[in-house]
Structure 1
Amino acid sequence: MKKILTLVFVSALGGLLTLGGYKLFVEDTQSEITAEQPNSQLPIYVPTSSTNALLKEDERPDLITAAEKTIDAVVHVKNTQINRRPQTWEDIFSNRRVERKQLAGAGSGVIISPDGHIVTNNHVISGAVEISVTLNNNRTYMAKLVGTDEKNDIALLKIDSDEDLPFVTFGDSDATRIGEWVLAVGNPFNLTSTVTAGIISAKSRDLPGGRGQSFIQTDAAVNPGNSGGALVNVNGELVGINTAITSQTGSYIGYSFAVPSNIARKIIEDIMEYGDVQDGILGVNGLALNSEAAKQLDIDETEGFYVSSVESESGAEVAGITEGDIIRRLDNVEINKFSDLSGYLKTKSPSDIVSVEILRDGDIKTIPVILKKRESLYVEFMDIQFRDIPQKAKDKYDALSGGGVVITENKNSFLYRDVGLRRNFVITGINDIQIKNLDDIKAMKEKFGDNYSKEIKKLEFLDDNLQRKEILFR
């Protein structure tokens, strides 16, 4: 018993000594460290969610107003197609249908008028037999396809409503600036009424295979389902139609691209008035200048669009633009690359007058050019776009002296992939009939129309080495 009492006493004494030591030495030391912390070299961490608190109220972008103006005017577009499967004996005996309607895809659209006109991407509604549109208030309408422009990936829809619908007004996409705040509004992954924010990262951006597109590039998050949705500025004005992303995974990784509103608006106005797009053609060919191009051309200029040839009877030729001129501006738009040139011209119509600023022999000249209609310079037949051979090329190469038509674009997958017809090939004969110019192609188009695949048995052409070849179709 005496040993136990001794053990308890020693334990209690040890505890008292420990507590006293803590009070005397440790607690005083910690108080000194705390008092000195503001003057120490240790970093002070601020949560990222509180960063905006450092901005003054008038410095914050007003994204709420833009979102409220837009969200009710952005709709969910659904594409229904016919799914066909091979017919079996059981299907035949039971008289069972092998066709059924199936939802093929979904995207977004933007109401641009109170009477129900909606702009979206062509790829959102391509191949549809039915198009349904769901508003932000969950009402669903069947939409009519008014028209499309496959090249610029724009389509116009129309729904009928008993009341005026909320809509977004067009803004001036040319007036947008790099670094400007924008909102992307759409329906990614079927998540309706989704708003993301970012800035304009670049303008007049072309993508591989874009065929001279001129996109607005942003870092606003855009994913599958956003296609056809709105890109709006802080005023809630439509400055672009969200169209594409660059991704190795199929989802957003930092960059998204929108058709500028000025291009979309011009396309929509043409479809509503003419039923198709009326392109205004300047009539020049060439390349964007940079250090490498300037070295090849033996010139000092590294900015602008170098004119290597001018289309015969085009507005540029009539106005006096010649080979070797360097286009610096169209109206007030600076031209540094081909997408600057093509993007601005897509906002123009035939007969519009464009002020072209050129550099010629060291002097700046401004020349007014009347744009021509595409059909006066090009003809589309067999899903191929043709133009006349420039007279300069005829004078230079004997093989071209007999005439023909030059392929400028081939969208016929069979003739491109299997036959090998490429850009700058020259068609000289069809079915043993000599082709000298566009008038001969127009005559073939009127004769065969859409039945050309059944009627054309022979093609004669010159390849890019001006070697004569012919193809027989059986």
Structure 2
Amino acid sequence: MKHRSVLAALMGSCLSAAPLARTLCVLTPCALASYALAPSALAPYALAPRALAEPAISPPAARAVHAAPDSYADLAARLLPAVVNISISATLKPGESDDDDDGPDASPEDGPQVPQFPPGSPMEKFFHDYMNRRPTPSGPPRKMQALGSGFIISPDGFIVTNNHVIKDADKVSVTLQDGTVLPARIVGRDSRTDLAVIKIDGKAPFPTVAFGDSDKARVGDRVLAIGNPFGLSGTVTNGIVSSRGRDINHGLYDDYIQTDASINRGNSGGPLFDLDGQVIGINTAIYSSSGGSIGIGFAIPANDARGVIEQLRRDGHVSRGWIGVRVQNVTHEIADSIGLKPEKGAMIATVDPKGPASAAGMKTGDVILSLDGKPIDGHALPRLVAEIAPGTRARFGLWRKGKTREALVTVKASPEAPDMPPTPEKTKGPSTLALADLGVTFAAIDDANRTKYGLSDSQRGVVVTDVTQDGPADTRGLQPGDVVTEVQQIAVNAPEALSKELARARAQKKHTVLLLVQGQDGLRWVPLPLSGD
């Protein structure tokens, strides 16, 4: 979005001088990040078009539905105490802006256009001063404040929200319905599903709400959304479920509930309730050209979020299943060309030669028809495989050259590094760990090492600071600047934690220890010999 007006920036909207027909606005707490919706770069994951003609079917049996209430007041009064406002403060580096509505076509030369005012007028001076205060690459770091929403899921103070609400936060605070403000800490976050868990202490037990069964939500069911739109705390809106299973090209795990309940900036992380008062979704994004609600909002289904949230509460990060394939939906043209009737399943486009699927005999061109007996398609497969615990054996039904077969695959942990919660500024134990027998020295990731090795603010793990030439670590390709994020598939964020996992491996009489290493070329697994040979 080129040449966004300064007036629009000051109003905190996503207005553009060159309007887009359709824009997806992620409900960021500080400014709406807008992205033009275009065909996904991951085109193989696009949903196949439905057939134009379908056979007539009998309508489903009617089930009991809620009659239209005269008022939602009683329900809202019961739910409001468990919905909270989340405030964060973050430090913007030089050159960064707290306004995220630069579109994909923006360039460094693009800048806001200043409205024309009469020379010498007060408005001319105001905008001149504003332009001089805008961040520059050489300017000092600035503090930013932002707002979002969340909801309490346990009496001891665990709160669910969106990852983009608390991302990069230096400080997080929570305001309860009665006005009480409490500090919060980030327990865990996951950027791939845009979910996060934070924790407050004191005043327990806290009021809570419970997750419902989002799979039972049908198109047309009434819903309530509660949140903090535009900083207006405790706002209740109502609508219906507009659609299910929406893919908005946000990532591999898209499976959104669409609703027309009014959702605006600041609603991020707030709950979407059914009329039983159960959470069936977490409000995350809207479809808009202005940043305001036009009746098209998207929520993460509760059934998709529940497992992620449990892992974040327990481990602080998410471990996902992985089988090492890339798939795409079987379209009518693909099915016709390979002789598959009816058209269904997920066709394998590539197979990682070192992945579990390859070991189980899967090949490029195979069509995955089912997972543990349930029909599958290309859009749903990445999400369903990710939900399988590493080490689990899964049964895949395959179609290959006119014949069906089965493949038993032992699912492994995804090689992608998980998002880790912030490392406390003051950590116990030594800041470095020198292992002479392995020829490597590790150090905590502090500000000095981030600057020295060019590490991002979100990078977690233990950084390699020194490698002995021709030593075991050197022969395995470790070099200064590499970051070890896991040891034996256990996340490590401090040299003390890494030392503990190495000691555990030695106690188990292991000859090698497996490290997950983030280097210049991405993530890789490195087996490091413990004997020093």
If the TM-score is normalised by the length of the shorter chain, which range does it land in? 0.5 to 0.7
AA matched with 2:67: E
Q: Please say which of residues 296-305 and 73-82 is displaced more in the overlay.
A: 296-305
Q: Give the superposition deviation at 1:224.
A: 0.7
Q: Which residue is 2:27 aligned to?
A: none
Q: Which residue is 2:504 aligned to?
A: none
CA contact (8 A) 2:373 2:397 kept: no
Matches for 1:43-442 after TM superposition, within 5 Å: 59-60=67-68, 66-82=75-91, 101-103=143-145, 105-294=146-335, 299-331=340-372, 334-338=375-379, 340-362=380-402, 367-375=407-415
Q: Please say which of residues 67-76 and 246-255 is displaced more in the overlay.
A: 67-76
Give the Cα separation in 2 of the matches to 1:275 and 1:249: 35
Alignment equivalent of 1:449, drawn from 479, 482, 489: 482
> What is the aligned-residue RMSD (CA, Å)?
3.7
Give the Cα separation in 2 of the matches to 1:265 and 1:169: 11
Give the Cα separation in 2 of the matches to 1:201 and 1:150: 25
Choose between structure 1 and 2 for higher RCO, CA contacts under 8 A separated by at least 6 residues.
Answer: 2
Unaligned runs of 5+ in 2: 1-63, 96-138, 419-471, 485-517, 522-533
CA contact (8 A) 2:283 2:298 kept: yes
Give the Cα separation in 2 of the matches to 1:458 and 1:82: 26
Give the Cα separation in 1 of the matches to 2:181 and 2:339: 61
Change in Cα spacing, 1:222 to 1:334, as seen in structure 2 (3 Å) is farther
Q: What secondary structure does 1:303 align onto?
A: coil
Deviations 1:433-461 (A, max 9, x none): xxxxxx9999556642259xxxx9998xx
CA contact (8 A) 1:187 1:226 kept: yes
Q: Please say which of residues 246-255 and 233-242 is displaced more in the overlay.
A: 233-242
AA matched with 1:274: D
Q: Give the superposition deviation at 1:354.
A: 3.7
Q: Which residue is 1:414 aligned to?
A: none
TM value normalised by structure 1: 0.60
Change in Cα spacing, 1:337 to 1:221, as seen in structure 2 (3 Å) is farther
AA matched with 1:316: A
Deviations 1:43-91 (A, max 9, x none): xxxxxxxxxxxxx9963369666544432111101111246789xxxxx
Give the Cα separation in 2 of the matches to 1:205 and 1:441: 48
Unaligned runs of 5+ in 1: 1-55, 87-96, 381-438, 460-474
CA contact (8 A) 1:319 1:368 kept: yes
TM value normalised by structure 2: 0.54
Give the Cα separation in 2 of the matches to 1:264 and 1:123: 15
Give the Cα separation in 2 of the matches to 1:331 and 1:180: 30
Q: Give the superposition deviation at 1:329.
A: 3.5
Deviations 1:97-145 (A, max 9, x none): 9766442x21101111111111111111122221111111111111111
CA contact (8 A) 2:269 2:282 kept: yes
AA matched with 2:185: K
AA matched with 1:59: A
Change in Cα spacing, 1:153 to 1:441, as seen in structure 2 (3 Å) is farther
Q: Give the superposition deviation at 1:318.
A: 4.0
Q: Give the superposition deviation at 1:256.
A: 1.0
Give the Cα separation in 2 of the matches to 1:188 and 1:373: 38
Identity over the aligned pairs, expressed in percent?
Answer: 36
Q: Give the superposition deviation at 1:287.
A: 0.7
Give the Cα separation in 2 of the matches to 1:333 and 1:240: 24
Change in Cα spacing, 1:286 to 1:101, as seen in structure 2 (3 Å) is closer
Matches for 1:9-28 after TM superposition, within 5 Å: none
Give the Cα separation in 1 of the matches to 2:208 and 2:83: 8
Q: Which residue is 2:19 aligned to?
A: none
Change in Cα spacing, 1:363 to 1:70, as seen in structure 2 (3 Å) is farther
Task: Report how many aligned residue pairs link the two structures.
Answer: 328
Structure whose alpha-carbon radius of gyration is higher: 1
Give the Cα separation in 2 of the matches to 1:288 and 1:180: 29
Give the Cα separation in 1 of the matches to 2:175 and 2:351: 48
Give the Cα separation in 1 of the matches to 2:205 and 2:520: 56
CA contact (8 A) 2:340 2:402 kept: no
Q: What secondary structure does 2:258 align onto?
A: strand
AA matched with 1:217: Q
Q: What secondary structure does 2:482 align onto?
A: helix
